[in-house]
Amino acid sequence: MRQIVLDTETTGLNPRAGDRIIEIGCVELVNRRLTGNNFHSYLNPERDSEEGALAVHGLTTEFLADKPKFSEIASGLRDYLAGAEIIIHNAPFDVGFLDAEFARLGIARFRDHVGEVIDTLVRAKEMHPGKRNSLDALCDRYGVSNAHRTLHGALLDSELLAEVYLAMTRGQNSLSMDLGSDAVVLDAVDQAAQLLELRDIRILRASAEELAAHEAMLQSLDKEVRGKSVWRIVAGD
Cβ-contact 25, 40 below 8 angstroms: yes
Give helix 154-168 / helix 120-127 axis angle, nearest 10°.
40
Query: 2 - beta bridge partners?
Result: 30
Q: Which of 57, 89, 113, 152 does the annotation list as catalytic?
A: 152
Query: Distance (Å, rounded) from C-alpha 112 to C-alpha 82?
Result: 9
Query: Is 57 known to be catalytic?
Result: no
Strands 176-177 and 184-185: antiparallel
Instruction: Return the exposure string of 150-176: e unless at least 16 CB atoms fall within 10 Å of the residue's CB, then b.
Output: eebbbbbbbbbbbbbbbebeeeeeeee
Bridge-based pairing state of the strands 85-88 and 176-177: unpaired
Contact 28, 38 (CB under 8 A): yes
CA 100 to chain centre: 23
- Integer Cα distance of 4 and 29 in angstroms: 6
Active site residues: 152
